[in-house]
């Protein structure tokens, strides 16, 4: 019985070590700059050191090694009380005692100094904190020294101060979400203490049977795994300006790929002696096959269970998230477009018994060759001798072809051995051109081409047009999403700031200009007197972080700095050159530029944009709100 309990405790100790180390890595990558997070990092580090030492001691045979490992564990044991005091100070800074926490910050450094003193007394080999030799066995532990009780008092001070700080933070929480997380933290903050405090030093082995102690250790390890997971989860939100759903998803995935997989591997390795006895095979052979099976099965299991866990996280937004998850499979990408164009070209050239063809379509730098079939040298020669800038306008003027394909012959442009045909969208917009290297005699006899071949070419050309049109529409959607991305991120950050707000944070939010209901009016006043006036020189917008950053570049002039920021915000609204000049985006940009930057009158700008003065003022209001939105995004990037 004792042997089984000893093996179980070793397995659970390894599980605690894996879970704690994984969560330590997760919280470090998540937000190590936050003061609460830094305190948690030290608490988790203490647990890692203590449980790692327990595993090494259980495998050590040399007395000197065991003694060294036993005393080295106090790196973790002594750091935990100071880390608790650190955590209490960070929590008080969130609540209603922020000023007190700042003034008493020196107590945190004093606590770490005290931890260093206790650690030094242990490592120097004195018997003041712990004494005696470390006996062998599953419950090996030192005896208490004369100053061990002072360490116990230090430990209790750290735990009690954290408890009081959690209660204070819970009472001062302003949102239900923040209060809920503080409840989680209050229920689990004692986990590192339970895991690292040397209870056996009190002489418990002489009071309780060994089997009872091993059972209690196993229960304590299970408790520590659960509590540390919940504790880390509750702290992961602090200072991270992301929606709850994203933090939950990241946490669950990290737990699956880290602790869960690690525990399964440890469980498999620990069960090797059982399989070795049952199957009568060497341990190395079993490990080889076991690693092979685990490598294949674990990713499959994780990939199967992850959607179920995501469904719990996104239970209110399941339909939207599920659609977005499957969106890559239903998107027609540029690589898909190139493949379709090339395959269609090969089919058309094969049907006409010719070798060379190409497709021209818009790219980032104007019209370019998107697909080639046959001789690339011939296509490059043709494009080199006949610029696309001159060819495309001539092809665009050609009449649209019908559904029968290459008829009539006047719908094509014959140029230097190539027959060029326009490709158009269903509404007639020019999408590009199809070029086929037809011999002169075949071009003259185009009307005699077999009807089935003409029909095939028409179908393939129509598929090309559909693909080009689809990709263009998708690109517009993607550009719109990219344009919205900063605004969405800003909204997420504002939502997180409000959700995590403390009384001190609320004061900052209250003083944040971009959150002021009159922010758009402030922007309008500053734009109205962009070239000088009290509404510009005395504008509240002078307090923006973006303006303050530009003060030095503008010779210390706040007015010039604000002018530069406003000009940049308007420049950010300038649409892409390929966008239709009659689009709403160009209308708003031209209105802002003409009215405020070029100082033209309302009548002149309205006349230039072909609108009435009443319509001008409606559009001006929308344009000013767009400038305010850009300023909000710029201010968010500064923070």
Q: What's the length of the chain?
A: 639
3-state secondary structure of 483: helix
Q: For residue 215, give Cα distances in angstroms to 9, 191, 222, 227, 532.
A: 8, 18, 11, 18, 80
Percentage of residues in the chain having pLDDT higher than 90: 8
Could you tell me the maximum CA-CA distance found in the chain, to the nearest angstrom? Answer: 110
pLDDT exceeds cutoff 60 at 510:
no
**327 vs 471 pLDDT, higher one:** 471
- List 372's β-bridge partners, or say none: 358
- List 362's β-bridge partners, or say none: 367
Spell out the residues 6+ positions from residue 160 whose beta carbon is closer than 8 angstroms to its own. Answer: none
Q: Would you tell me the crossing angle of helices 283-313 and 244-255 to the nearest 10 degrees?
A: 170
The whole-number pLDDT of residue 409 equals 47
Residue range 511-547, pLDDT digits in tens: 566 666 677 788 888 888 888 888 888 888 887 878 8
The whole-number pLDDT of residue 596 equals 86
3-class DSSP string for 236-287: CCCCCCCCHHHHHHHHHHHHHHHHHHHHHHHHHHHCHHHHHHHHCCCHHHHH
Which H or E run includes 361? strand 357-363
The whole-number pLDDT of residue 80 equals 93
- Please provide the distance, in angstroms rounded to a whole number, between the alpha carbons at the two ends of the chain: 60
Residue range 587-596, pLDDT digits in tens: 888 888 888 8
Residue range 557-587, pLDDT digits in tens: 888 888 888 888 888 888 877 676 767 788 8
| Distinct helix (H) and strand (E) counts, the chain | 28, 7
- The answer to whether 470 and 408 are in contact (CB under 8 A) is no
Listed as own residue / partner, the contacts of 129-138 with beta carbons closer than 8 Å and 24 or more positions apart are 129/74, 130/71, 130/74, 130/198, 130/201, 133/63, 133/67, 134/57, 134/63, 134/66, 134/67, 134/70, 136/66, 137/210, 138/2, 138/5, 138/6, 138/9, 138/58, 138/210, 138/214
Full-model pTM: 0.60
Confidence of residue 457 (pLDDT cuts 50, 70, 90): confident
pLDDT exceeds cutoff 60 at 402:
no
- CA-based nearest residue to 108, from 35, 32, 171: 35
Task: Return phi, psi of residue 560, to 5°.
Answer: -65, -35
Confidence of residue 407 (pLDDT cuts 50, 70, 90): very low
Q: Which domains does the chain have, with CATH numbers?
A: 2-239 (1.20.1070.10), 242-327 (no CATH), 334-473 (3.30.450.40), 512-638 (no CATH)
- Of 7-21, 36-50, 468-482, 615-629, the one with minimum mean pLDDT is 468-482
Residue range 108-155, pLDDT digits in tens: 899 999 999 999 998 888 888 887 766 555 566 677 788 889 999 999
Residue range 179-232, pLDDT digits in tens: 888 888 889 989 999 988 887 776 655 566 777 877 888 888 899 999 998 898
Q: For residue 564, give Cα distances in angstroms to 516, 535, 549, 559, 630.
A: 22, 16, 11, 9, 13
The whole-number pLDDT of residue 115 equals 92
Residue range 51-71, pLDDT digits in tens: 888 888 877 777 788 888 888
Question: What is d(CA 294, CA 561) in angstroms, rounded to the nearest whole number?
Answer: 61
């Amino acid at each position: 019985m004792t042997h089984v309990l000893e093996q179980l405790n070793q397995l659970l100790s390894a599980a605690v070590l894996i879970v704690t180390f994984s969560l330590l890595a997760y919280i470090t990558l998540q937000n190590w700059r936050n003061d609460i997070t830094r305190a948690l990092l030290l608490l988790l580090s203490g647990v890692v050191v203590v449980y790692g030492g327990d595993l090494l001691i259980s495998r050590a045979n040399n007395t000197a090694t065991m003694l060294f490992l036993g005393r080295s564990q106090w790196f973790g044991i002594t750091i935990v009380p100071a880390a608790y005091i650190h955590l209490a100070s960070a929590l008080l800074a969130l609540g209603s005692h922020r000023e007190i926490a700042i003034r008493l910050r020196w107590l945190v450094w004093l606590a770490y100094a005290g931890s260093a003193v206790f650690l030094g007394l242990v490592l120097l080999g004195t018997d003041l904190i712990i004494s005696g030799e470390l006996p062998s066995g599953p419950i090996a532990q030192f005896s208490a020294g004369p100053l061990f009780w002072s360490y116990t008092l230090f430990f209790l001070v750290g735990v009690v101060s954290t408890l009081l700080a959690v209660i204070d933070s819970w009472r001062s929480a302003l949102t239900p979400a923040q209060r809920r997380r503080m409840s989680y933290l209050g229920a689990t903050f004692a986990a590192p203490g339970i895991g690292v405090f040397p209870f056996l030093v009190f002489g418990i082995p002489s009071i309780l049977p060994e089997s009872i102690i091993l059972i209690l250790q196993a229960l304590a390890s299970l408790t520590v795994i659960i509590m540390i997971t919940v504790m880390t989860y509750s702290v992961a939100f602090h200072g991270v300006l992301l929606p709850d759903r994203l933090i939950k998803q990241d946490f669950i995935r990290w737990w699956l790929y880290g602790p869960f997989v690690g525990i399964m591997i440890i469980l498999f390795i620990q069960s090797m002696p059982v399989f070795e006895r049952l199957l009568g095979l060497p341990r190395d052979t079993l490990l080889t096959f076991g690693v092979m099976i685990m490598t294949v099965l674990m990713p499959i299991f994780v990939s199967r269970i992850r959607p179920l866990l995501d469904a719990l996280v996104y239970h209110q937004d399941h339909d939207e998230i599920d659609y977005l998850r499957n969106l890559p499979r239903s998107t027609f990408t540029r690589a898909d477009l190139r493949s379709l164009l090339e395959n269609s070209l090969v089919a058309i050239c094969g049907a006409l018994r010719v070798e060379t063809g190409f497709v021209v379509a818009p790219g980032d730098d104007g019209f370019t060759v998107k697909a080639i079939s046959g001789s690339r040298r011939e296509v490059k020669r043709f494009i080199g001798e006949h610029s696309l800038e001159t060819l495309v306008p001539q092809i665009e003027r050609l009449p649209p072809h019908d559904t029968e394909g290459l008829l009539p012959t006047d719908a094509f442009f014959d140029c230097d051995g190539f027959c060029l045909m326009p490709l158009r969208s269903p509404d007639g917009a020019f999408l590009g051109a199809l070029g086929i290297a037809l011999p002169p005699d075949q071009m003259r006899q185009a009307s005699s081409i077999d009807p089935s071949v003409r029909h095939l070419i028409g179908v393939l050309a129509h598929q090309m047009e559909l693909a080009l049109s689809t990709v263009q529409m998708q690109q517009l959607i993607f550009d719109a999403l990219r344009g919205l991305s900063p605004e969405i991120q800003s909204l997420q950050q504002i939502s997180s700031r409000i959700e995590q707000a403390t009384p001190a944070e609320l004061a900052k939010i209250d003083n944040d200009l971009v959150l002021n209901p009159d922010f758009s009016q402030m922007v309008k006043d500053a734009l109205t007197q962009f070239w000088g006036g009290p509404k510009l020189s005395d504008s509240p917008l002078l307090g923006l972080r973006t303006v303050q950053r530009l003060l030095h570049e503008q010779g210390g002039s706040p007015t010039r700095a604000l002018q530069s920021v406003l000009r940049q915000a308007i420049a950010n609204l300038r649409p892409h050159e390929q966008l239709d000049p009659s689009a709403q985006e160009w209308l708003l940009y031209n209105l802002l530029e003409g009215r405020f930057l070029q100082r033209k009158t309302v009548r002149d700008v309205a006349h230039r944009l072909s609108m009435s003065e009443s319509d001008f003022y409606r559009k001006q209001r929308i344009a000013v709100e767009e400038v305010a939105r850009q300023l909000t995004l710029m201010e968010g990037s500064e923070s």
